[in-house]
Structure 1
Amino acid sequence: MTTTQQTPQPTVEQQNDSWRGYAEEGNDELSRATTVRLKEQSRKLLGELLRPYKKMIWLLIVIVVVENAARLSVPYLVHLGIDKGIPPILAGEGSKTLVTIVVVVLASALIQAGARQVFLMRSGRLGQTILLGLRRRVFDHFQRLSPSFHDKYTSGRVISRLTSDVDVIDEMLETGFDGLVTALLTLVGTAVLLLTLDIRLGLLALLSFPVLFLLTAWFRRRSAVVYRRTREAVVLVIVHFVESMQGIRAVQAFRREPRNEEIFHEVNDKYREANLESFRINAIFMPSIKGVGNITIVAILAYGGWQAYHGHVTVGVLTAFLLYLRQFFEPLQDISQFYNTFLSASAALEKLSGVLNEKPDVAEPVEPARPGNARGHLELRNVQFSYVDGVPILPGLDLDVPAGQTLALVGTTGAGKTTIAKLVSRFYDPTGGHVLLDGIDLRNLTEDDLRTRVVMVTQENFLFTGTVADNIRFGKPTATMEEIVEAAKVIGAHEFISKLPNGYETAVEKRGNRLSAGQRQLVAFARAFLADPAVLILDEATSSLDIPSERLIQRALRTILAERTAIVIAHRLSTVETADRVIVLEHGHIIEDGSPADLITTGGNYAGLHQAWEESLA
């Protein structure tokens, strides 16, 4: 008997070389239509994230305005202290004016510090609340997406979405908002105050604006390209690293380390080059801004000094001017840093919004049916299905499985056995025809109704981090320990579980590596038994068991399959012989249908398979 039909999976070679495909995908994303769509989606996502906190955001804006107003007032107060507070002292009229100004400066400093503290506390709490909701939303959405999506969307990209992409959004929320608002208020406020203090000095200072505008425009254009390239490069590094580690057994078994290292060095070097380019443009932009600022300050100092010498400008005004100019050029660097953060966050939002806009191939019904008690009657009516367009797996299958019947599916690779199991489990929807459970199309059942009625056990027997009891309870979250133990006893797993260091409370470690393949399979059987579904699907579910273990669960299988509908896919005919009925599939068509005992005597395909199995035992 050959193995069952599986969804096409990439080979090890394809997985290790897949980074090139991701790079091409990144280039595709830069097409105009796609870019526009992604930007619209990311803006919509950002709006959805911020909308519930509008009042808090406005409060934060007010706090920032107060903080910056207090900060901008200090140079002006210094001007008043020099021009209005010192002359009365020199004239012997007392220091009341200067003391008043000093007190106001102190109050401004305290207001600025207090507002800053309140802003940091509230903005930090708001940012983490938004990120908490975003992570939950992305995680929940990934779980709801169909297996077909996860077949093509690699685990490395999933990890990248939930880690590096969320991290850059965190950085934008943490520093970007504050930096942008502060920079804009400083630029506008300082420009107004400069012109108010002295129109001639103010106009001289604003002569630097065209140069600053050209530098900023150049930086914005170059950094948009570079930072997108950086985001794409880091994804390639994460994808290759995660998939190499997940497939480490295959990598070591086939001595793929040199090739993996070659690929990793290549993607890592691309990431390095992208970061170096970002450093280069910053190395040009930052000193250029500072240079323009210093030249402007020198010009103001020279012209202002000459004006002050001739009595056209007071020393206080010139001092305030120089202090404001220092504040004026610093925000331009802050804006550039915010823009870098904003670009990274925009790219991350585009990717996250792209994932969140993915629709499950298996969607919840708009108007779900209200099924009665589950009986387990299955019908496939003219069911058609293709994994790849133009390559049908099931060209039009009709099959009726009465409630309570155990049906075994056998056939060659690609016959459609596992495809039938996935359609009945509704991991996929048929491209044509209908799959019905107790007369109701599966498309009209809610996810909860379907999963309580249909359970599938595969050869993967995935165990989650936790105890053995936790993994059995997975089939029924409300199960008591007594129910868990009873399920294990029925399956035949109780004996080996009891011998574990902590019995049912023994941690199974990563993917159940503490247990043998056969033990993991028995735990999966106990989980399915505890779930007590109306329809149970066993897809190569005994393939991991050795002969003694398989014999151990034959009686348990009969207990599990009794009084429920079951579909059994197995290449071991010892499992198939427990079935009431066997159908032999070939290219999606039923070529034999009958009881195991009857099909053995017909001399057909099943009889030949049975004879070969008996000879292998001998």
Structure 2
Amino acid sequence: MSQTSVTGTSGEERDDFSRAESRQIRSRSLRLLGSLLEPLRARLVVGIVVIIVSTAAQVAGPALIAFGIDRGLPSLMKNDWMPLALAGAAYLATGVIGAALVAWFTVLSARISQAVLLDLRRRVFLQTQRLSLEFHESYTSGRIISRQTSDLDSIRELLDSGINNLVQGALYMVFVGLALLLVDPLSAAVLLVSLVPLAILTRWFQLRSQRVFRQTRTASANVIVKFVETMTGIRAVKAFRTETRNEGDFGELVEDYRQVNARVIRLFGIYNPGLVLIGNVTVAVVLLVGGLRVFEGQLAVGALLAVVLYTRRFFDPMEDMAMFYNSYQSAAAALEKISGVLEEQPSVPDPAAPIDLWTSKGHVRFSDVEFAYAGDRVILPTFDLDIPAGQTVALVGSTGAGKSTLAKLVSRFYDPSTGEVSLDGIDLRSLHPKDLRRAIVMVTQEAYLFSGTVADNIAIGKPDASFDEITAAARAVGAHEFIEGLPNGYETDVNKRGGRVSAGQRQLISFARAFLADPAVLILDEATASLDIPSERLVQNALQTLLADRTAIIIAHRLSTVAIADRVLVMEHGRIVEDGTPADLIAGTGRFAALHASWRESLA
């Protein structure tokens, strides 16, 4: 009994937590929407006024027809054509005014929606750039692309047409109801009764569709993630011949997406015919009751025509509003996901009161540093290290020893869990971001090149660099000759990810980029690991120039790269187990001496 009670309580707690979380997510989405609409208040007010006047003009039509029939025709039989002429002129005027204002509202709402989308796209892009490396290592690129593409498209569809349908439809129904009440209260009462089954049907649709529409967003995102990851890793796909397996996995995801959409269609297959049935029954009842009253002389013929038209028109927007609910559910789910990304806080925040460091010497110090990735084991336990300015340090050790983690801490991709990493005596957490990025640069093994020219890629190190500075940087690291040999020299488009140049050439371009940036501290994270021997020798020559007169931290498995270091640190399990010059460590009997001996034997 006690166990059952505990289980029940935990289930209730989970339900309460789920409801609280849902409220928090909705609140977050509403805050985002409010912040997007805040700068557009004036346009929104104008749009509301325009659509109200437009709807009133459109709704006036049946009442004017009733006036023309009940007042104009009897007056015309008495040779008084004025009432009928006034009714006709008024009907024409309201039609023209309504059409003009609808056109104005359509343009106005489109401008509002585009302004919102522009703001939102910019926010998502800036936020994903601002977030720390930890976020990008845990949040797949496919999911980020889904936020910027399919999710924003859902919001665009809602803003472009859904909101218009909702506002116009809701106002139209309200105005039609009021007009019906003024023309014939009894017919308005019949319409009011019809709202009961209409509300029940709509509520049924809402409860079932809300869950299904969220599933469509998830299924859509899964398809995009799988596609992006497959295309990003296409070389591995080709190398391991995983096309057939990927085809099966992707087919399952597409089938899930199809099934979810089929459930959506089935819901509309019940809801839309239900709306038509309720509308037709209501019109039939109004016509029957009104016809009997006309026969008894209680209602004019023109008034009967007006109430039938109003009743029919009352249900016209319902299908569009149902489609709005479709768009709304997709957009609401998308907005929740986007708002979640926008409310993510960087795990490496900018300092509240940054300290400027205009000129850096490059003195790096680790003081009582301990580091663990979120929810993971400790990688660096109580770590101390002092790297004097201008010293070249090589980090050596087995995979997982903590070398790359140390480099990420120096680059401030992560902050230490405890302790301090400082540059020239200033804690990196207090250093101004622009000074940090100018003082410390990392060159990775990937040597990523962006779409654009070779010159554009080198200039990333210094965006305002002149062409002479770019070519000087390329000459300094030995890249000038091969760049000049490209089809258009420095103006050659390197294509996606640098596909037009070899791995060694890409690395030389990345070195030129780093040389142009002229950092005080340069980190090379296995920058020669993917190169063949000729390419490595080419890069080694460039390294001599690149590392001169600056602090350097080299992470390398190849001991040929270590030879140019002033100091070697051998790391194991996050600790430094050997520290000395390459010559001293080679002459010893420790780990580095054994590694060096094995390397020499492999060259023999």
Aligned to 2:71: 84
> TM-score with structure 2 length normalisation?
0.95
**Post-superposition offset of 1:389:** 3.7
Q: Hey, what's the Cα distance between the residues in 2 that align with 1:172 and 1:461?
A: 41
**1:209-608 alignment runs, 5 A limit:** 209-387=195-373, 389=375, 391-608=377-594
**1:38-187 alignment runs, 5 A limit:** 38-91=25-78, 93-187=79-173
Could you say what secondary structure the match of 1:434 adopts?
strand
Q: Hey, what's the Cα distance between the residues in 2 that align with 1:414 and 1:107?
A: 79
Aligned AA (1:603): T
Q: Is the 8 A contact 2:368 2:383 kept in 1?
A: yes
Q: Hey, what's the Cα distance between the residues in 2 that align with 1:372 and 1:138?
A: 31
Q: Is the 8 A contact 2:290 2:304 kept in 1?
A: yes
Residue deviations 1:394-423 (CA, integer Å, cap 9, x gap): 111110000111111111111111111110
Aligned to 1:10: none
Aligned to 1:11: none
Q: Is the 8 A contact 2:522 2:553 kept in 1?
A: yes
Q: Is the 8 A contact 2:379 2:402 kept in 1?
A: yes
Residue deviations 1:77-128 (CA, integer Å, cap 9, x gap): 111111111111122x231221111111111011111101111111111111
**Post-superposition offset of 1:59:** 0.8
Q: Is the 8 A contact 1:49 1:130 kept in 2?
A: yes
Aligned AA (1:157): R
Aligned AA (2:223): V
**Post-superposition offset of 1:158:** 0.7
**Post-superposition offset of 1:205:** 2.8
Q: Is the 8 A contact 1:463 1:511 kept in 2?
A: yes
Mean alpha-carbon deviation: is it higher for 432-441 or for 539-548? 539-548
1:31 is matched with which residue: 5, 14, 18?
Answer: 18
Q: Hey, what's the Cα distance between the residues in 2 that align with 1:76 and 1:422?
A: 74
Aligned AA (1:533): P
Q: Hey, what's the Cα distance between the residues in 2 that align with 1:259 and 1:548?
A: 37
Aligned AA (1:57): L
Residue deviations 1:476-528 (CA, integer Å, cap 9, x gap): 10111111111111111111111111111111111001111111111111100
Q: Hey, what's the Cα distance between the residues in 1 that align with 2:266 and 2:52?
A: 34
Q: Hey, what's the Cα distance between the residues in 2 that align with 1:358 and 1:86?
A: 69
Could you say what secondary structure the match of 2:446 adopts?
coil
**Post-superposition offset of 1:310:** 2.4
Aligned AA (1:64): I
Q: Give unpaired runs (5+ residues) of structure 2.
A: 1-13
- Distance change >3 Å, CA 30–CA 526, structure 1 → 2: farther
Q: Is the 8 A contact 2:379 2:573 kept in 1?
A: yes
Aligned AA (1:308): V
Could you say what secondary structure the match of 1:312 adopts?
coil
Aligned AA (2:80): G
**Post-superposition offset of 1:36:** 1.8
**Post-superposition offset of 1:251:** 1.9
**Post-superposition offset of 1:567:** 0.4
Could you say what secondary structure the match of 1:384 adopts?
strand
Cα-Cα RMSD: 1.6
> TM-score with structure 1 length normalisation?
0.93
**Post-superposition offset of 1:30:** 10
Aligned AA (1:543): A
Identity value in percent: 53
Aligned AA (1:385): F
1:610 aligns to 2:596 (yes or no):
yes
Moved over 6 A (4+): 27-30
**Post-superposition offset of 1:426:** 0.6
- Distance change >3 Å, CA 570–CA 376, structure 1 → 2: same
**Post-superposition offset of 1:232:** 1.2
Could you say what secondary structure the match of 1:585 adopts?
strand
Larger RCO: 1 or 2 (CA < 8 Å, sep 6+) = 1
Mean alpha-carbon deviation: is it higher for 363-372 or for 138-147? 363-372
Mean alpha-carbon deviation: is it higher for 212-221 or for 460-469? 212-221
Q: Is the 8 A contact 1:64 1:178 kept in 2?
A: no
Aligned residues: 591
Residue deviations 1:41-96 (CA, integer Å, cap 9, x gap): 101101111111111111111111011000000111111111111111122x2312
